[in-house]
Amino acid sequence: MDKRQILVEVASGFANKFLGDKLTCAYEKLGEIINNIPEEYRSSTILKFDTEYEDHLINFSIYYYREETDEEFSKRIADIERRKQASIIAAQEREKMVLRQLAAKYPEVLGLKL
């Protein structure tokens, strides 16, 4: 299993409110955001604008993708294994319940005592 790409959202909200209505304010806030992004991800960071909500409100998000860390990868693999085991145990319990029901209904056919 390969490592995944993790989406890291740096900032989001309504541009009109977050960035203000002055270019210098927007420049300062965007500068702060850029400075908080690890240098190796700055050139691939995405700034997306969306006007689906209302015409006068512009929603924005700033994000980048990074590879999951070794720790995140190990945790994800362990979680997958735990879920697999839990699923197997649950399936076995369901099968045992069905078997008990069938044994109670047809004891002579199964020749079982449960």
Per-residue pLDDT of the chain (114 residues; tens, 9 = 90+): 899 999 999 999 888 788 778 888 889 999 999 999 999 999 999 999 887 666 677 889 999 999 999 999 999 999 999 999 999 999 999 999 998 888 888 877 766 555
**CB burial class (10 A; 0-12, 13-18, 19+) of residue 97?**
exposed
CA distance 71 to 38: 19
Model-level pTM? 0.65
CA distances from 110 to 13, 41, 88, 106 (A): 64, 64, 24, 6
